[in-house]
Structure 1
Amino acid sequence: MAVHNWKKWLSAALVCSMLAGGGAAYAESDDDAAQTGTEAESPDTGADSGTDGVSGGGDEAPLPVSGAGFSDVPNNHWARKHITKLNLQGIVQGYDGKFNPAASVSQQDAVLMALRFTGAAEKVDPDTQVLFPDSFIVSGYAKPYVMQAIYEGLIEEKEEFRLAESEPDKAWGTKPATREWVTKLIIRAIGETAKAEAMARDLPAFADASLISDMYVGYVNAAVELGIVKGISADRFAPKNTVSRAELATMLSRAQYLYPVEYKRQHSGILTSLSGTQLTLAHEDGTTQTFTIDSDTAVYRFDSESASSLANLKLYTQAAVIADGRRALYVEQMDNEERLEKTTGVIVSIDSSERLLYVKVGTPVVTIPYESDLAVLDRAGSNLGLSALAENSEVDIFRETFSESKRAVRIELKSAPVNKQGRGKIVSIQPGVIEIADDGAEAAETWDIAAAAVISRQGSPATLSDLRSGDVVSYTVKNGAITQIAVESGASRTVTGLFDGFSADRSSIIYTVNNKKEVSDLASGATLEIPGFAAASWDDLYKDDQIELTLDGSDKVTAIKVVGRNITTVGGATIVNLSNDTLTFKDQNGKPAAVTLNSKTRIEMNNSYLSLDAARMFFVAGRKVTITYSEDQAITIRFAYRHTGTLQSLNTAGSSIVLKLDDGSTVTIPYQTPAVQIPGKAGATISDLKPGDRVTVQLDQNLDKALAILAHRVVQMNVASVDASARKVRLTSEAGVTSEYTLSADTRLLDENGSSLTLSQLAAGRTVNAEFAGSDLIQLQTVIVKVGKIVSTSPGAVSFAAYGGSVEDIALGSNFKIVKNGVVSTSTAALAANDRVEIRTNESGEYVVTVIAGQVKTFWKYDAAANEIQVRKTSLNDQNQYKLSNDTLITSGGQTIAVTSLKMDDKIALYIHNGKLLEIEKLN
């Protein structure tokens, strides 16, 4: 049969319309079918050949496996969670009990899985005859599904026909799917095409981003941001790599958190009870379902890829169950948010026969029903039982929100006589009082110490004076006071001695204390500090150096500091001569001196280190150097073409400046007519500089005089985009101006704690402090930005609850500002409880608290498919659609509610920050 250009064939979209509308289908000739070259219609070519095709000849597809899984997907397989779940949902299939996880997925099978994922596969009549162009070769079993995918918009007809035509030697259907192609398929399947199109201009933050075809760039960006697809490493995406069956199952599984679909045999609800043999789900309509659990039930949590246990599931959170009738095959906790509301009050009495609590809440006494398995917890989380609820006990009562009765399911004692045993770390000790942070607890507790308390330290009798902050202890509390403390492991301590040497394998250090030799193991990551000596190594220690050692609770050395060495640093020294490894020089006052260079002497050339032989050529008479030495031994010789530090003084009459370097030493640098660059100031001269300015001074070829003086400036900006492969970033200033910068090899990238970052770790949207030296960008450091709600305020401090986090107290210091409704204040009195705020530090390290004003709207409806709410317009140009993210909160009266709880014409407030909808508050 002659090969035709596909444009001359009947449009696939027309065939799609026939599939949808029930029109006549078109069949290929036998010759056409022969050209496909596929064998996927045979049931013998199931998972063993790496396909996920539909069995031909009317045979039934293999039934999903049980929770026990496939024989070739062991318990420790990295994708077992996703493969098990999708198999039970009917999205992926195996054959003969195997899944073949490492096999590549063909494009046609990827389409089939995506259709099952969206539920659209059920619309397909497998017997429908479909006509495609000669160049677009698809296996017979897959043709109706590929056609349906075109109709559903999962793949683009013209684009895929063009791609098939460009590779005439490859069948489109059986061609292995690549990572970039599958990424686009999934993003279109979950309806995020608009996001991909909006992100199509910026290269993803991967070192190999240039290898991603232009047509897929936006889809990769969207998938990475949504958390569906990750790189194969921290900085590589590998767009042309083929996708295995396990990888595709993982991608589709992650996408389910963004694209909820109702699958047969899958049930969702609130996990209300859990035992070793059964669990119960409560649904929004008030009904409940109970499922049995056995050893084959697969148990997982939303925040882990590894199999979990029933003990790790949290009650009253959202859960999903895939079941065979009432037998649970798969259970997953879907989030960590308890569907409970809190009532604080004082216990008046308890009616155990009617299961009623009488609680004084404020002034009135209210009646609260409780569940039969009501948990009563002390401050450490131990269940004390209902008998612990004494009259006048102050309590927090947590009530379920999914039934009309709102029964109490948990009570936390706030004040009552406490009896317990615990284990934790001592935070502080005061006369008669001790503060201990229990293992796993978020906050420490303060306890009185009984007068007759029994104290021991690692099995030996001890006293209160023997206890130290940081000690790990077990303890007993009776009637609210500690009666017994046993130190299990000690806190860190310091020892001063003289350095002697190391063990042969350098795993231990030998030192002398009070004329007695001691040997201590070095802890992993042990550090060494020698004042005036940057980046010191173990080889920089000299015998009989006086050292201060820090030992942890296991007596391993974690840090060593040299404290007795007399170190001198001479900045701006002038070389006289180097002879037989003896360097003679003059200091800045012309005073001669000499030092000896040895194998430990570190010779530095602008942050690079040279051997003595390689550096001899630089020891030229008259050249300026910085010399650090102890007695007559040279420790560091530093040749520098530039110096960075703080300008101490400026002598315009004598044409010199004095610079205090970062290591604490000073250097005087003469100048004649240096160029001066000050960020933001054109035509700057040396008279524009002032003491206290941070500057970098570039020296001439003799390292003698200043050629240029570059003033430093730190500006807070937002990252607009990152091109890691080209080492470029686009930064947006506070005024909204976006500029592109190319980073040199010397540009430092740091996180909030000062640790190094790679450029690929710097994501768009982050706030950074950008440091410039003149016009050069020399450092970017990320800034912590917190968004949440004000709980309370006090002078100079706020109590703050971050979205998705716990309550913390933040001391704002003496210099801070509050920005509310465009007005700047320097008093926390400008804030009110429940204000939604952004808290960050500016480029000077001062706190800035900006209030996020709520936009009051009238709720209309919620579109679950698009995961967005719509509000009523008050004018023609009003925005009326708002997209929800995975962590958008919906609240009412300070409690979390479901978005489906919102009713038409409810008054709501929208809190939006940097274009993201943070919270929807239902207004009473």
Structure 2
Amino acid sequence: MKGKRWIALAMALVMTLSLLTVSAGAVSFTDMVGHWAKEDVEALATAGVVNGTSATTFSPDRKMTACEALLFCSRTTGVSKSDKARIYAAWAARLKKLLPQDMLSWAAEEMAVCLETGILSESELAALTSTGNISRAITRENLAMYLVRAMQLAPLAQSLTSYSMSFADTASISAALKPYVYLLNMYGIVRGDQANRFLPNGDLTRAEMATMLRRAIDFMEERGIYAELPAYTSYDWMGGTITAVTTGSSGVVLLTLSNELSGARTISLPAGVEIYENNMLTTSSALKVGQYVRVNLSASGTPESVRVGGALTVYTGAVTSLNADEVTISVSGAPRAMTIDRFTEVQAGKSVGGAEVIDLDGGYTEAVCSVDSQGRLVQLRLSGGTTPAEGLIASVEANVGGGQLLRVTGFNGVTTQYTLPADAAVTINGTVGAMSGRYVDSYVSMQVSNETEYELVSVAVDTVTKYIQGSLRTYSVGTRYDTVTVTDLETGKSTTYDMAASAVVRYEGKTAALSGLSRNLFVTACISGDGITLLDAYPASTETEGTIRSISFGTPTVLTVETDAGAQVSFDLDLTALPEIYRDDKVSSIDKIKVGDDITVTVRYNQVETLDCYSQSANVSGTITRITMESSGVTMDLKLKDGASVSYTVADGVSVTQDDTAISLYALKPDYEVSLVVSGDTVLSIRVDKGSSTSSMLSGTVLVPSVKEESLMIQQADGTPITVDVSRASFLTANGAATYLEALTVNDEVQIYGSYSGANFVATLVIVL
């Protein structure tokens, strides 16, 4: 083991000009004969870790500067040559500002390793440089701190509450540095002099540094210590707090982990898997209930190593700053900064993943940070705040629950419905005002709540600036000015506009050149005078893939789709001009699609063109034994085919069908045989396989009158859609006059008399009110 590490170090290290003058392979020095550090110095020299100050001398008593000591420390980390080059490339620009110019050529690469591995921070390097201490002799106690950090033992040092030492001059060691000196002394890396003194403020010689370096490298080899750098790793992993540990006779360990963000899981650890605690190899005895662990996986998903993080400490506070690499929160009035890396699980609003789910413009106000005993931020939950959105107002309506419903067509052509609470801030052309339908087609800038889906915190309407949306017919790039021809989607009229000299052109949200756009793109143009100041372009057709989460029938009917990334996207459907609808590769209709269906929505020029749905297979089947109506929905008890009993609470709006025809959730009764599509504890859809007969009367609003299928889809007073078979029905008006199915239109009020056949309602009389 030791030999392998020495060879690796020798191959990886690139020595600095200030420390190297001797040729490779020199293993003895004339001034080391009889010296107490001879063995250590020449072992390091043979490995290529250190070299002499001339062809024959090492200068063992020359004082080490802070810079030289730091570069020596960087060589204990085990960072590979290829990673060192990548690390330097990432830090090069900042090092030009942090290091003295005369050090850049020979110290920058290994100083970058110091910064990346945490041997010192940017602020510490800046302080060393500004004071000139980087070129001065380093004290023994300061070196102790840097070396402990290089050995990846800083978290252990910081966790110590007791660190008594027997040095005669222990009292002279700075209080903040005692834990570092204690660890180095405990592990035999530093020792006292003949008088048992540590000499904390004494200068460090090259011989002393070489001896400490060799002991540190040997210790790290024995304990399996190396610098694990998140940004330079790519393996998969899973993390969680241990809730159960079971060890088999063959040495296999079964771990059960809980995780608030990614859920509970059980994983089998092969016998002999590497387990690290405090960054040092240990045994499976370190795997205890209540300890957070990260399990690193091979390409095939097999656990390769386990990092024990200890008990988690949770910090909650207001977010004071946030970037892709760090979050700072206020805890009891004091700022606390924590690093976000690829081993940090993140929940930002409703999205869960890594740092990529953080919207840096999200305005999050609160954060819950879970930190392990190594000081690593393992979980980050961001909440509060808003996300900006913009577009053109499509409609403004009163909301049954209070406030208003605002439908906005984004610059990508997708129309989204937002809830505008009564207490939301509204400004019209910079002045406080109220939202109104007269602002349809005006530009609106919005702040959308990160916590409540599609709820607006504030809106700012601009009625002065003119915007149009349409298709890009053609453009001309001229020597004096550019021109663009846009066909307005509302009027169908094509108009040619000059492009303003300072006009901004974007494609899918990114700056683009006008000459790079293609014809027939969907565009939003901001017009000032006769010229365009902003041209925002998107593909004419866009596809959104996901799972149907809700269908809210009305004017318009709103289809909500959850994408694979967890985003909720809404689409407006006009029941009088429905798009092409397919289900399981067959032509279908709006009443046939269900919540839980997989779907691809194609939008062309701001209009939904096709709905391509695929049904999910039922995963729960049984007989209803009891139905209970509650404020949260309907509680349905089922007896499964294997004799077990389960209970589900079914929310209003869940798709309920028989023979692909929609029926009311409230039409379900005991003894019905049903098949459910269930995700977790959520019922996505219900199919009635066998029902019972009962007489009834229905009333509601016409959604879809289908002459071809002789059916009538209505929305009942509770909002539930139901499809009625009217093939044998008579039609009358409220005054008794005869009428016909063909005469019915969307939004007609009807009363329907008939009876259930199974779960299908067959009408005998339809009265149009």
Instruction: Specify if TM > 0.5.
Output: no
TM interval, shorter chain, is: under 0.3
Question: Normalising to structure 2: TM-score of the pair?
Answer: 0.27
| TM-score, reference length from structure 1 | 0.23
